[in-house]
Copies of this chain bind each other. A is one copy, B any other.
């Protein structure tokens, strides 16, 4: 197998982009990534997206976007794994280049969640959960995460305000990211006073519904060096799954798929958690940050939430383990099928030294972990600067 590098990145701002349709969002990200990579053609395009059918009445995004960006004719498919769709598409793209089946591959994550007249976005997001055993009982996706958070608070005797630092850190980092949806800092007090969504999850525990697209260009590592920015090597690409329904798991508070996928990734990359200089984790809800840190080996069970102490000082840009360095899902935004690619684009920005005021000093190895469903499909990528 060949080593694979990311030789170009592109992203749109994240937000309620009423004037942009699905294909225009994808176009802007893909064209920016191609320009960054200095390429005018590609062998294949893999698109990560979860909800285009439900919200934009459009499937068949692979060919649609390939054509719209001027690459009509090339291989193009859509890959779906709920909120992990973008990272799943990157996993497929990585396989294609690593295995020698394609040389130049573009991977785009795109989601258009606003501007969907008649569609029920909350119901659409519940398609990530088990329709027959969870959703029919009235559970929304945020309600499922609320059950997990409530259980965590009960089991480990943790008050709700202990999670504040995750959101404070994310919003602090969103300020410096021109592509972030929310660019205002929040305080722990604002977190405590935020409106309730699904008890105990409040507005400041929750990532927003929004639109956005991000893209990367992959090439064999020995081709790298042709792009405008420095190439970044993919040291590991791995995924694993768990049941959709939370009640089917041995321990709902341990994300087994996150554990499995990152263990595979550590092995592939030959690194341990101690080698990770920054971690873009899947903070769709603040409970997910705590669970993700525990499953990936950065904290023992019940102790992930301690990374949020002191307004998240230890996870800040200049902290021990910077997380959500460009705002994370909470502040950059969470256009679901695009998020996995945003995370990787941001790791590339950090490893290239292009993260501006949010630059993590001496960032050499970065990890991105994307989660589809409540810990169901988890895809982990570890990247290193060349």
Contact = CB atoms under 8 A, between A and B. Distances in A.
A97 to B, nearest CB: 9
Number of identical protomers: 2
Given A75-B239, A98-B99, A101-B98, A244 B63 contact: yes
A79 B79 contact: yes
A209 B60 CA distance: 19
Given A53-B127, A75-B240, A63 B373 contact: yes
Contact of A242 (B1, B63, B377): B63
A256 to B, nearest CB: 7
Contacts of A260: 73
Contacts of A276: none
Interface string A89-101: 0011001101111
B256 A62 contact: no
A82 B376 CA distance: 25
Contacts of A377: 60, 62-63, 76-77
A57 interface: yes
Contacts of A240: 73-75
A291 to B, nearest CB: 17
A-B pairs, top 9 by smallest CB distance, nearest first, are A99-B99, A59-B127, A63-B241, A60-B82, A58-B131, A78-B80, A75-B239, A77-B88, A63-B376
